[in-house]
Homo-oligomer: A and B are copies of this chain.
């Protein structure tokens, strides 16, 4: 509620953004979902949105939306809702998306090609700034307006393109070594597609995406549904968004 909970030397630019004392991790992981929903709502022409409507669009409960947004300083108006444009700008500020972030893709194979050719990152605040591989046959290949560089040049590439995030799409055997080289080059955020645990120093963040794990979690519920549980297969009632897991 307070507009300036802590003294800041001054608003950097654009919207007024109080530096938040501390944001619950659960809230952080939902902010991107709100942002995605808000962009849809904005494109539909709405200029304000209630917590109820935003909750429906994001697939959560409205109380959760209100509590999450209240953590950001709360620019909602009672009886009306939130200004969509303001909310978008504020969430983008908090997530650090006001400046476009450059990511490097390490391992331009099967999956790497798909990601490199994907045009959907631009509107979400990211640009693929480098394609990196170790295979001499791959180095030099051109994809769009990027050329695959060799991993030995990683430090120079990271510096030149101001890489903020490294995405690992190499085989498991190479993943740890690649992570080490990314860290050595100064990268402190890693998105890892290789199905393995990475060891990194303190101060470096890793997020893992393992599709087989997602399938296995689904398999568990499928399995559970099949056995004895009469509730699972029976009920086909309302068409509410029922999402399992995080």
Q: Chain A: residues with CB nearer than 8 A to chain B?
A: 19, 23, 25, 28-29, 31-33, 35-37, 40, 57-59, 94-97, 101, 103, 110-111, 113-115, 117-118, 120-121, 124-126, 164-165, 188-191, 195-228, 231-246
The residues of B that contact A205 with a CB separation of less than 8 Å are 218, 221-222, 242-244
Query: A97 near B211 (CB under 8 angstroms)?
Result: no
Query: A223 near B96 (CB under 8 angstroms)?
Result: yes
Query: B191 near A95 (CB under 8 angstroms)?
Result: no
Query: B240 near A225 (CB under 8 angstroms)?
Result: no
Known: A110-B118, A197-B37, A216-B35. A101 touches B207 (CB 8 A): no
The residues of B that contact A58 with a CB separation of less than 8 Å are 197
CB distance from A186 to the nearest CB of B (A): 10
The residues of B that contact A222 with a CB separation of less than 8 Å are 96, 101, 164-165, 188-189, 205
Known: A215-B191, A216-B32. A245 touches B25 (CB 8 A): yes
